[in-house]
Amino acid sequence: MRTPAQENEVTRRIDYARVARGAVQAMQAMQHYSRDSGLEHSLLELVKLRASQINGCAYCLDMHSKDARAEGETEQRIYVLSAWREAPFYTPRERAALAWTEAVTLIADGVPDELYERARAQFDEKELVDLTMAIITINGWNRLSIAFGSEVGSYRPQQAEATAARAS
């Protein structure tokens, strides 16, 4: 008989990175494109966190909160992200990106013209396409992690690993 703690454990179902290397390489290429698009890395981390909150992806929340902190994001902004509309410490550009993230993640609800106009006031055409590609990518990673049971808590930020390697 399983304990309550074991009932809540996520077990890895399929090692999708091993089984479908080409698919994962395609996803990684999209991620690299987004990272190198010129959009602020701090903005991209907020977007990844917000989409992962909406989707309930614990693995990606763990990963991107660690990455955001490693890149200098404050605990306060990470903790309050799900209530960003009421918090005073997000810029107008970040607010537009977060609203856009919610609409694209919850696409069945549609994307109102007013929201599009607000996003366009903060992002040029290429930036908005790049932002949308980043949102599409994190939504894909969320779905893979949730469907196939990625191990939550095992991720270490690359920056932290590089610092540890230099220290040894």
pLDDT digits (tens, 9 = 90+) for 54-68: 999 999 999 999 999
* pLDDT (tens digit per residue) in 26-45: 999 999 999 999 999 999 99
Q: Give the whole-angstrom CA distance, residue 9 versus residue 26.
A: 29
Token pair, residue 6, equals 């074991």
pTM value is 0.84
Shortest CA distance to 50 belongs to which of 33, 65, 30, 32? 65
The angle at the Cα of 48, spanning 8 to 12, to the nearest 5 degrees, equals 30
- Going by the DSSP 8-state scheme, the letter that residue 20 receives in this structure is T
CATH topology for the 48-154 domain:
AhpD-like (1.20.1290)
Q: What is the pLDDT of residues 125-157, one digit of tens each?
A: 999 999 999 999 999 999 999 998 867 767 788
**pLDDT tens-digit series, residues 91-119:** 999 999 999 999 999 999 999 999 999 99
